[in-house]
Amino acid sequence: MSEQLAINIKGLKKQYRLGQIGGGTLTADLQSWWARMRRKEDPNSKIGSDQRLIGQRFWALNGIDLQVKKGEALGIIGGNGAGKSTMLKILSRITAPTEGSVDIYGRIASMLEVGTGFSPEMTGRENIYMNGAILGMTKAEIDAKMEKIIDFSEVREFIDTPVKRYSSGMYVKLAFSVAAHLDAEIMIMDEVLAVGDMAFQKKCLDKMRDAATVEGKSVLYVSHNMNTIRKLCDRCVVLDKGRVIFDGDVEEAISVYMQSSHLNMSPTVDLTHARRPGYTVGTARMEHICFEESDNCTYAPGKRIPVVFTWRALAHLEDVGVRMLVVNQDGSPVGLTFSEPLKTVDSGEWVESKLYLEFPGLVEGTYMLTISLFQGDYVGNSIILDTLERACAFQIKNDNQTDAVLNWPARAWGAIQFPNITVR
Amino acid sequence: MEMTEKSYHTHLEPKNGWFDIDLKEVWRYRDLIWLFTKRSFILIYKQTILGPAWIILQPLMTTLIYTLVFGGIAGISTDGIPQILFYMGGNAVWGFFAACLNKTASTFTGNAGVFGKVYFPRLVSPISTVLSSAINFFVQLAMFLVFWLYYVVTGQVSPNYIGILLLPVILVYLGLLGLGFGIIISSLTTKYRDLAMLVTFGVQLWMYITPVVYPISTLGEGGLRTVIMLNPVTCAVETFRWAFLGQGSVELLYWGISAVVMAAVVTLGVIVFSKVEKTFMDTV
């Protein structure tokens, strides 16, 4: 494969302003301006909002240097807010960079969304023309590829039916087919493969794989699904807080990402400093969680997991319970478990409880826990006092391989093996 | 290997020049312009009973109402031109300009969904809007010509046939003028939505300072006439009337001024548009 560059990113930065940008209407902006001139409080700012934060800037991308060669399939991973989407937006020319430069050698087909520009009233065929043209194909190019696109989409019988009558699966298949047949030299995809049925997903991955290896196109692929990254990419970068923190081998990148995304496998995890999501009430604060009877949080399937959990009450609280959500490595939830209400606590009191977690049927693998303190109110709803997403991680691993099903494909079969079927 | 031999190179940088519009690129996307134009017709008339007949019915009804209100009740002179022709012609020309302006004014806000997900030269969108307004105009013109032929054959109007050759000039001029104003407004509405309200209202008022329901001759020779003549839409409407209906004030001085205004508006529009198109997704 030639060593020619497809994309050359130098010192790329993108800045966004926090808080409200303008009032949205001219009168509101004039009001705000007039208030500032008289040193009065802005009538359009939220009451009590921190004035220092308004107009504060933050770097979504903070100095990215990256080169992509022709024929390379590059995966881009990173937590939420790491800057993945911002980078793709700049490469796709949807927004301009604040600093730095990007050179793109070749045409770009970007699929930040499947089926952009589809009109429900128009037929499948009309939408192929529409979507193809939006993505940069000429009518002649679309004509030449029409049959291939229809074949790939598997919706030939319905191609002259308005797409509003399509099932969502058919819609997605058609849209992806158009994008997959673009003549561009560089393809940019933002998790578009997370759609359609399994067979079609595989077909799409293969198609993308071919685009890189056979046709010599460059593929940039963003996903939270590590399996598709493994299948598609031969190089991977990890973004964190707007910077590239790793660039190289896919497996290494995934392990770097897992570590950076709070995948903390040490038995004792400090919960005090991690950032909380905005919807928590904040009247309690989790402090530590400590996994016992294992040095590396690894347990045999079906085994009871003892943890010591400490938290502090910041108000007088009754009937507080603990809730734990088991989350897969790729972020999808597996199941939820509740504790019975803990004792009533006074403000400032420090609580240490020993909790026994049981996950019968949970198959081998690494899982994360999203831990919440909640309070059931009288109408049966619950108030979330404190939450930490993916606070800690544990591993289920079998020591003796005899009674476990070998090679459980968790992606296809799920994360739980139910008790065996009884035969009478 | 399905690689095109042509090599494309795109360089992205934060700073952009004053006149940063790649017209060649717009031309590469001409098929998209045409598809957008076609779609605007397909979508308007899907699931309607009368379908495309509405292109004719709307102006026909407007003409009848004008004839009734301005011609009948208010009794405004039409310079001896049959009222139907007078109002229908004026309405078609004005309608073309108003449609260009109104529809391009919502370019950014109306297409935010598509613009946020895929890149194509943003100018494609207002250009296709102007094209579809032009097609609309030609349909109305066809209807106008039917009535016009009847009056010409019966000798009730005496057109300046040579002037009819100016029709393309009038159309290009009005299209550019509407496009220019429209893209300026669309660039401003990404930040201030209330301008959109102002546009609908403003365009309605603008019609009354344009000789659509009255001929320029009713204004005499005072200052009001000068003001109305300085309105850049006036010369287009009057030239159309002069060519097809034989009555109208075509003055080179005002055409010159109007042409300068149009050029300025379009230039300013493209500059503002090219500034806004790169970052509007961050503010919209």
Buried b (16+ CB within 10 A) or exposed e, A66-100: bebbbbbbbbbbbbeebbbbbbbbbbbbbbbbbbb
Most confident of A137-141, A318-322, A354-358, B224-228: A354-358
% of chain A exceeding 70 in pLDDT = 83
Protein fold of A268-402: Coagulation Factor XIII; Chain A, domain 1 (2.70.50)
At A52, the pLDDT band (50, 70, 90 cuts) reads very low
Asked if A100 and B114 come within 8 Å (Cβ–Cβ), the reply is: no
- In this complex, the residue of B1, B11, B14 whose CB is nearest that of residue A103 is B11
At A261, the pLDDT band (50, 70, 90 cuts) reads low
pLDDT of residue A137: 84
Asked if B7 and A121 come within 8 Å (Cβ–Cβ), the reply is: no
CATH of domain A62-260: 3.40.50.300
Q: How far is A127 from chain B (nearest CA, A)?
A: 10
pLDDT of residue A51: 43
Q: What angle do CA A392, A395, A401 make, to 5 degrees?
A: 175
Q: Which of B7, B28, B117 to mutate to test the interface with A (most CBs of A within 10 A)?
A: B117
- In this complex, the residue of A94, A121, A133 whose CB is nearest that of residue B281 is A94
Asked if A113 and B117 come within 8 Å (Cβ–Cβ), the reply is: yes
Cβ neighbours of B281 in A, within 8 Å: 89, 94-95
pLDDT of residue A121: 82
pLDDT tens digits for range A122-145: 888 988 998 888 888 888 889 998
**Which bin fits B96, alpha (ψ -120 to 50), beta or left (φ > 0)?**
alpha
With CA atoms as reference, the chain A residue closest to B40 would be: A119
Q: Which of A14, A26, A142 to mutate to test the interface with B (most CBs of B within 10 A)?
A: A26
Mean pLDDT value of segment B72-98: 86
Q: Which of A10, A12, A93, A108 to mutate to test the interface with B (most CBs of B within 10 A)?
A: A93
- In this complex, the residue of B29, B193, B279 whose CB is nearest that of residue A96 is B279
Cβ neighbours of B112 in A, within 8 Å: none
pLDDT tens digits for range A97-121: 888 888 888 888 887 877 777 888 8
* Paired strand residues for A299: A396
% of chain B exceeding 70 in pLDDT = 94
Sheet holding A320-327, edge to edge: A298-299, A382-396, A365-376, A320-327, A333-338
Quick check: pTM over 0.90?
no
- Identify the weakest region by mean pLDDT among A163-172, B11-20, B83-92: B11-20
- Per-residue pLDDT for A55 more than 60? no
Asked if B13 and A97 come within 8 Å (Cβ–Cβ), the reply is: yes
Token digits of residue B184: 């300026």
Cβ neighbours of B11 in A, within 8 Å: 101-104
Cβ neighbours of B282 in A, within 8 Å: 16, 21, 95
The rounded distance, in Å, linking the Cα atoms of B229 and B213 is 15
The per-residue pLDDT of chain A, averaged, comes to 80
Mean pLDDT value of segment B217-222: 78
Cβ neighbours of B41 in A, within 8 Å: none
Q: What is the ipTM of this complex?
A: 0.78
CB proximity B44 to A under 8 Å: no
pLDDT of residue B279: 73
Comparing B148 with B110, which gets the higher pLDDT?
B148
The rounded distance, in Å, linking the Cα atoms of B32 and A129 is 9
Cβ neighbours of B120 in A, within 8 Å: 134, 136
- In this complex, the residue of B2, B11, B193 whose CB is nearest that of residue A215 is B2
- Per-residue pLDDT for B275 more than 50? yes
pLDDT of residue A356: 92
At A54, the pLDDT band (50, 70, 90 cuts) reads very low
Mean pLDDT value of segment A59-71: 87
Cβ neighbours of A126 in B, within 8 Å: 42
Mean pLDDT value of segment B115-144: 88
Dihedral sign for Cα A196, A198, A202, A203, please. Answer: negative
Cβ neighbours of A179 in B, within 8 Å: none
Sequence spans of domains, chain A: 19-55, 62-260, 268-402
Mean pLDDT value of segment A223-239: 84
- Identify the weakest region by mean pLDDT among A169-178, A407-416, B31-40: A407-416
Mean pLDDT value of segment A150-160: 88
The per-residue pLDDT of chain B, averaged, comes to 83
Asked if A26 and B115 come within 8 Å (Cβ–Cβ), the reply is: no
pLDDT of residue A265: 65
- Per-residue pLDDT for B201 more than 80? yes
Cβ neighbours of A139 in B, within 8 Å: 31, 34-35
pLDDT of residue B71: 81
Asked if A101 and B12 come within 8 Å (Cβ–Cβ), the reply is: yes
